[in-house]
């Protein structure tokens, strides 16, 4: 009798184990390694403090160069585990030449589906739904948060697979967010969390946070280092100075007026066309990335396809209303992401791309990338790209128009920058040289040297950023603000 009871117990236990699907078992094992399922479910808050570098994606001097870096200090992330709330505060300082504020305080939260930003004055304003989703997923890029979320019976845990000394399992949260958690086979601790995202320039990108240096904190194991990469680029390397479990996390709820406010939606895209000389239009409207159209004998040429498909498609459409002549070329001033965001749609629209030769490999890579998460026009109808590369200079000329293109030389910030000059009207067309609204003009002296070096007689600046201005005003503003002397 005694023996049969034991047999019953043993077989019931074996059945219970057998009933736990292997995916769930992987999560349960990770929970056990992190301090136990009960401890994880009982934890109320996490507070993480530290500092580290946060590179500025798509803003390097040359496409394969080092990314410029924000140095992040006073970083603090508080997480309310039970209520799905988090707040991130940090101070970031530019370690690179920058035209805007070189130190910036950021204070951003999400409370369920409500994202909000807190200004310097302490006032919170609601942020859009895309920010809410992004911040919710960012919160899941932590071993305790992802495992706790995966333990929720409402979460789906699927597709367990082995890779070397690790096992990977896909987690779809109760809210429908999809992530992959990778677990070390020997320690059973999560080694990283991966989520897929859409980037306007790079398309489908993996965002991967790697965890290392686990330490014991109040009954749980927490990583001392969280390194996040977007695709092959470092996004943030957080070195934790303090991990706390169930410490006072402050009030992370979105203020009532923020919750009551509707989520802001991006305003409708506006493109205006202002004639600046015969056969030259300045396309402005929404935002601070403008484009310029040049009218030749039998075709139009566009200078700049900025930001993303939405802006650039609207600009291309507008250019096509200005004349019966076909739009045939797009000049891409340089490789920075906010200036090359329309490269793919320009190719999809059949435009020949004119750019500095140093962008060749990088642009070929951007054009070859997959955009399946948010399919763009080029993904939907692939097209071979046509390029005309400029080495030092190139002149586009017929009876109606002459546009000279020059490579910006020896600039400390811009290695691939191409600018335009119209000798008939003494017009300078440029991106990132100068905007009267900038706080400082750190590379302004180099810009003036380049114009002198090319022996250009400029009367008017027609910019991508900022307002159209007389050139002597531009010179005055550059000279009045701190600037690095031209190296030449
Ligand atoms: Zn720019």
Distance 341 CA to ligand 1 centre (A): 11
Distance 99 CA to ligand 1 centre (A): 10
Distance 331 CA to ligand 1 centre (A): 14
Q: What is the pLDDT of residue 101?
A: 87
The beta strand positions in 83-129, using DSSP E, are 85-94, 103-111, 114-118, 124-127
Q: What is the pLDDT of residue 100?
A: 86
Six-digit token pair at 327?
A: 């739009």
82 in Cβ contact with 103 (< 8 Å): no
Low-confidence stretches of the chain (pLDDT beneath 70): 1-18, 482-483, 486-488
Distance 77 CA to ligand 1 centre (A): 31
355 in Cβ contact with 389 (< 8 Å): yes
Distance 38 CA to ligand 1 centre (A): 51
Please provide residue 278's backbone torsions phi and psi, each rounded to the nearest 5 degrees.
-60, 120
Distance 172 CA to ligand 1 centre (A): 38
Distance 340 CA to ligand 1 centre (A): 10
Query: For strand 103-111 and strand 114-118, is the pairing parallel, antiparallel, or unpaired?
Result: antiparallel
431 in Cβ contact with 418 (< 8 Å): no
**DSSP string over 51-76:** EEEEE-TT--SSTTSPPPEEEEEEEE
481 in Cβ contact with 441 (< 8 Å): yes
Distance 28 CA to ligand 1 centre (A): 48
Distance 368 CA to ligand 1 centre (A): 24
Distance 265 CA to ligand 1 centre (A): 24
Distance 434 CA to ligand 1 centre (A): 9
Distance 432 CA to ligand 1 centre (A): 5
Q: How many residues does the chain have?
A: 488
Residues 175, 190: Cα–Cα separation, whole Å:
22
Distance 339 CA to ligand 1 centre (A): 6
Six-digit token pair at 205?
A: 């990108």
Please provide residue 409's backbone torsions phi and psi, each rounded to the nearest 5 degrees.
-95, 140
Distance 158 CA to ligand 1 centre (A): 43
Distance 291 CA to ligand 1 centre (A): 12
Sheet of 300-303, strand order: 271-277, 280-285, 291-295, 300-303, 327-331, 352-356, 387-390
pLDDT digit string (tens) for 181-193?
A: 999 999 999 999 9
Name the CA radius of gyration of the chain, rounded: 27
Distance 338 CA to ligand 1 centre (A): 6
Q: Among candidates 349, 351, 355, 361, which has minimal Cα distance to 386?
A: 351
Residues with CB under 5 A from ligand 1 (ion): 432
Q: Among candidates 151, 214, 220, which has minimal Cα distance to 184?
A: 214
> Three-class SS string for 348-398?
HCCCEEEEEHHHHHHHHHHHHCCCCCCCCHHHHCCCCCCEEEECCEEEEEC
Distance 283 CA to ligand 1 centre (A): 16
pLDDT digit string (tens) for 294-313?
A: 999 999 999 999 999 999 99
Distance 227 CA to ligand 1 centre (A): 28
45 in Cβ contact with 247 (< 8 Å): yes
pLDDT > 90 fraction of the chain, expressed in percent and rounded: 92
pLDDT digit string (tens) for 64-87?
A: 999 999 999 999 999 999 999 999
Distance 182 CA to ligand 1 centre (A): 38
What is the value of pTM for the model shown?
0.92
Distance 176 CA to ligand 1 centre (A): 36
Q: What is the pLDDT of residue 1?
A: 45
Distance 335 CA to ligand 1 centre (A): 10
Distance 474 CA to ligand 1 centre (A): 17
345 in Cβ contact with 366 (< 8 Å): no
Q: What is the pLDDT of residue 20?
A: 87
Distance 451 CA to ligand 1 centre (A): 19
Q: How far is CA 41 from CA 35, 84, 219, in A?
A: 10, 13, 12
Distance 296 CA to ligand 1 centre (A): 26
Distance 465 CA to ligand 1 centre (A): 7
Distance 359 CA to ligand 1 centre (A): 16
Residues 370, 151: Cα–Cα separation, whole Å:
33
Q: What is the pLDDT of residue 338?
A: 96
Distance 118 CA to ligand 1 centre (A): 26
Residues 113, 165: Cα–Cα separation, whole Å:
37
86 in Cβ contact with 135 (< 8 Å): yes
């Amino acid at each position: 009798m005694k023996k049969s009871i034991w047999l019953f117990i043993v077989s019931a236990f074996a059945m219970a184990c057998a009933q736990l699907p292997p995916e769930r078992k992987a999560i349960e094992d990770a929970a056990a390694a992190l301090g136990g399922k009960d401890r994880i479910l009982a934890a109320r808050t996490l507070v993480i403090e530290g500092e580290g570098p946060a590179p500025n994606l798509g803003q390097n001097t040359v496409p394969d160069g080092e990314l410029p870096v924000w140095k992040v200090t006073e970083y603090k992330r508080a997480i309310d585990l039970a209520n799905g709330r988090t707040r991130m505060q940090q101070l970031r300082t530019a370690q690179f030449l920058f035209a805007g504020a070189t130190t910036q305080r950021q204070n951003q939260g999400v409370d369920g589906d409500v994202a909000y930003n807190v200004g310097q004055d302490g006032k919170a304003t609601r942020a859009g739904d895309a920010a809410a989703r992004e911040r919710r997923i960012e919160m899941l890029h932590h071993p305790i948060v992802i495992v706790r979320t995966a333990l929720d019976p409402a979460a789906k845990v699927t597709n367990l697979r082995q890779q070397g000394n690790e096992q990977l399992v896909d987690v779809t949260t109760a809210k429908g967010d999809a992530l992959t958690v990778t677990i070390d086979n020997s320690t059973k601790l999560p080694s990283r969390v991966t989520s897929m995202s859409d980037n306007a320039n790079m398309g489908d990108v993996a965002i991967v946070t790697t965890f290392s240096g686990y330490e014991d904190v109040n009954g749980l194991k927490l990583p001392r280092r969280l390194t996040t990469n977007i695709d092959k680029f470092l996004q943030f390397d957080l070195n934790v100075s303090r991990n706390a479990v169930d410490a006072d996390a402050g009030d992370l709820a979105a203020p009532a007026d923020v919750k009551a406010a509707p989520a802001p939606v991006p305003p409708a895209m506006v493109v205006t066309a202002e004639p600046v000389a015969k056969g030259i239009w300045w396309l402005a409207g929404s935002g601070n990335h403008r484009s310029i159209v040049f009218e030749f004998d039998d075709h139009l040429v566009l200078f700049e396809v900025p930001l993303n498909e939405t802006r650039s498609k609207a600009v291309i459409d507008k250019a096509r209303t200005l004349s019966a002549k076909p739009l045939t070329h797009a000049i891409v001033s340089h490789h920075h992401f906010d200036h090359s965001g329309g490269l793919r749609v320009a190719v999809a629209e059949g435009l020949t791309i004119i750019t500095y030769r140093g962008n060749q490999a990088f642009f070929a890579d951007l054009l070859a990338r997959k955009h399946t998460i948010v399919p763009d026009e080029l993904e939907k109808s692939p097209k071979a790209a046509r390029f005309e590369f400029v080495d030092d200079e190139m002149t586009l000329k017929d009876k109606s128009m002459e546009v000279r293109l020059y490579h910006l030389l020896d600039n400390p910030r811009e290695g691939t920058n191409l600018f335009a000059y119209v000798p008939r009207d003494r017009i300078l067309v440029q991106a990132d040289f100068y905007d009267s609204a900038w706080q400082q003009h750190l590379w302004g002296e180099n810009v003036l040297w380049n114009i002198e070096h090319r022996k250009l007689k400029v009367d008017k600046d027609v910019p991508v950023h900022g307002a159209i201005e007389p050139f002597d005003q531009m010179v005055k503003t550059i000279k009045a603000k701190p600037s690095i002397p031209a190296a030449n």
